[in-house]
Amino acid sequence: MLNAIETYLTLRRATGFAMQNAEYLLKSFADFAAERGQTHVRTQTAIDWATLGPSVAQRDARLKAVCRFARYVRVDDAWHELPPANYFGARKTRRSPHIYSAEEIDRLIEAALRLRPKGGRRSLTYATLIALLSVTGLRISEALKLTVADVTNDGLLIRETKFRKTRLVPLHDTAAAGLKRYLARRQPHSADDPVFVDERGLALRYLTVRDTFNRLVSTAGIRPAAARRPRLHDLRHTFAVRALQGSPAGRSRCGPHMAALATYMGHVNIYATYWYLEATADLMRDVAAAGEGFISAGRQS
């Protein structure tokens, strides 16, 4: 079975998937099956192995990793069984994001500018980072990996990020000017330097940024509608919602707009973009107005 797993992993990686977790899981399953003297995927064995996961979500992920492999290997060898993918009944849940208002984002940037030492590299870096995330919807990992060379006249070059894709993210003139001013103040030494750095000139680390952002949320007095505090990742949700609100009228134009948004955000398909959307009061008013216009037009015809 191990040879088939290696072939499967090589094929998936050739199409752009990292497969690091899948490799660990499948080899663990192969060892478990070998202890039972089995060289083919067996449904009960797959379920028994997946059950070793400590939570329903992890058991579900383990079994689905085997199912994906089984679908591939059964093409050449029908002796492999295909386990039921939804055996554990796990469902992916989505935490409701906090959609920041323009005023809240301004308060976050102002709070960042007051970080000590005031007027120093740290305060300027966090203010610029928050502003960039809010107007581009970049993943925080993408922003932290940016180098000076990635800031081009045509936009930001996002290199081999999630799903190993590289894309160009155009910037509004005001965003480009703000980033240019930041780099002029920061005075990087080379094109390979990271854009966002700490006090020592090293690339910012995610955990440091997350903790600092959480403190800025409190400093800015941003209170969530629900019990959970607003997150750094919610800036990406906010960008997606605002982009939807800016969609042109008409179904024929809205579709291409959403496809362009999916590409801009680096999604493999538009379903991933839908995951980031959230109903807001402004958005629902727009939907209601569009619905009333559609009904009124029908009555007049």
CATH of the domain at 153: 1.10.443.10
**Amino acid making up residue 59:** R
Q: Specify whether 215 is located in the same domain as 251.
A: no
Q: Specify whether 42 is located in the same domain as 29.
A: yes
**89: in domain:** no
Q: Specify whether 244 is located in the same domain as 228.
A: no
Quote the domain boundaries for residue 8.
2-73
Give a three-class secondary structure readout of 137-148: CCCHHHHHHCEH
**160: in domain:** yes
Q: How many CB atoms lie within 10 A of CB 142?
A: 21
Classify burial at 79, counting beta carbons within 10 Å of its beta carbon; exposed 0-12, middle 13-18, buried 19 or more: exposed
Q: Specify whether 57 is located in the same domain as 16.
A: yes
Peptide bond into 230 cis (omega under 30): no
Answer with the residue of higher pLDDT: 271 or 131.
131
pLDDT band at 96 (very low <50, low <70, confident <90, very high): confident
Q: What are the pLDDT digits (tens) for 200-254?
A: 889 999 999 999 999 999 999 998 766 678 999 999 999 988 887 777 666 566 6
Catalytic residue numbers read 139, 162, 233, 236, 267, 276
Which candidate, 115, 120, 101, places its Cα nearest to that of 235?
Answer: 101
Q: Specify whether 139 is located in the same domain as 126.
A: yes
Q: Specify whether 112 is located in the same domain as 192.
A: yes
**87: in domain:** no
**83: in domain:** no
Which candidate, 96, 104, 103, 101, places its Cα nearest to that of 222?
Answer: 104
Q: Specify whether 124 is located in the same domain as 223.
A: yes
pTM above 0.75, yes or no: no
Total domain count for the chain? 3
Q: What is the mean pLDDT of the chain?
A: 86
**49: in domain:** yes
Query: Which tokens sit at 48?
Result: 């028994």
Q: What are the pLDDT digits (tens) for 254-272?
A: 667 677 777 788 776 666 6
**80: in domain:** no
Sheet holding 151-152, edge to edge: 151-152, 155-158, 167-169
Which candidate, 236, 249, 226, places its Cα nearest to that of 277?
Answer: 236
**267: in domain:** yes
- Give dist(CA 110, CA 294) in Å, integer: 42
Query: Which tokens sit at 100?
Result: 């920041």
Q: Specify whether 293 is located in the same domain as 250.
A: yes
At 167, which helix (H) or strand (E)? strand 167-169
Could you give the percent of the chain with pLDDT greater than 90?
63
CA atoms within 13 A on the CB side of 239: 20
Contacts of 112 (CB under 8 A, 6+ apart): 123, 126, 127, 130, 216
